[in-house]
Amino acid sequence: MVKVHAITISPPLVNTSCAWASDDKQLTELFDCPYTGAVTTRTATLRGFKEDSSHTVAFLKDSLSSLNSYGYSPHPLSNYIGPQGWVRAILTRSPNSTKPFILSVTDSSAEDLRMMLNSIQELRAFNPSWASRIAVEFNASCPNIKGHPPPSYNFPSLRPFLDVFSDFFWKDQTLTVGIKLPPYLAATQFVDVVNGIATYSRLDPISGKSINPFAFLTCTNTLGNSLVFADQAEGGSGSGGGFAVPPGVGGLAGEAIHSLSLGNVYSFSRLLAESPDPAMREVAIIGAGGVTSPEAVTRMHRAGARVVGCATLLGKLGVEAFEHLSHKSSETS
């Protein structure tokens, strides 16, 4: 059991935002699975992402890895949390459960993001118990959006969006907020992110305790600009041009990025633990990237993740992936 600000994740195993958490059926299966401690929705925008046949996924032949060209959910946020929303319906039918949802959201407009957070806060206020069953994650790292590079590679670009989340947190400090980050390569990138997030900390005037609006980091998202040829993918034929996915390049995930993702988790966990700001030392990491075996789960925890997430294995096996990941590892933690 892991407490991440106002939500409790038990067991500490989740799906990450992905195409296999898009709709009512998928979300229900994830929620009803006893091996998931929380359910993360596919990243939603205010109006929905225009998805077409170029947005797809290919699984590699020789490793449990994937390449996807997906954008965000084709369903607008209202499909998840509106009056007939899927998340709302699941929460309503399960009043005795404590399993939370992590609503993954993003938008290229800070004002649209503000509208989305208003709607999320309305949902959390609808039922007193839902404040501890709904968290929000800002996906700042999808590599597949043409004309909109991930803002998380340049902290000044990220700040206007984090300002919005910070504003909502200070109005309601029960809100659990996280950020989904990309794979970083340079040491200075990790330092910039941690130092940038630390600027949002404030001292509580009553307790004198340092508080930061951001409770968790999900790392990592897929590795962008990756190329897989058709003959490297299952099925073998691929799309026109001999590529595994129609655009050619996409986001690489699964075993192929596991070591890189472990390095990101380790780098962030070390910097957070060494921060002079007590609030930063409380930020949790959801470790993701190549989590395809119980041993990979153990490695993520050893690197510093308090919660572990997966997507590629979910796409491959369905919700049975989480039972597989819950088996005893041959590695010691």
What is the model's pLDDT at position 182?
A: 98
**CB atoms inside a 10 Å sphere around CB 49:** 19
The full DSSP string for 86-134 is HHHHHHHH-TT----EEEEE--S-HHHHHHHHHHHHHHHHHSGGGGGTE
* CA-based nearest residue to 182, from 144, 218, 215: 218
Q: What is the CA radius of gyration of the chain?
A: 19
pLDDT averaged over every residue in the chain: 95
| 88-127 tens-digit pLDDT | 999 999 999 999 999 999 999 999 999 999 999 999 999 9
Buried-state track 310-329, b at ≥16 Cβ within 10 A, e below 16: bbbbbbbbebebbeebeeeb
| 196-216 tens-digit pLDDT | 999 999 999 888 999 999 999
Tokens 């005037």 correspond to what residue? 205
What is the model's pLDDT at position 240?
A: 53
Buried-state track 80-93, b at ≥16 Cβ within 10 A, e below 16: bbeeebbbbebbee
Three-state DSSP at 315 gives: helix
pLDDT > 90? residue 284: yes
Residue 113 and residue 107 in contact, taking contact as beta carbons nearer than 8 Å: yes
This model's pTM is above 0.85 = yes
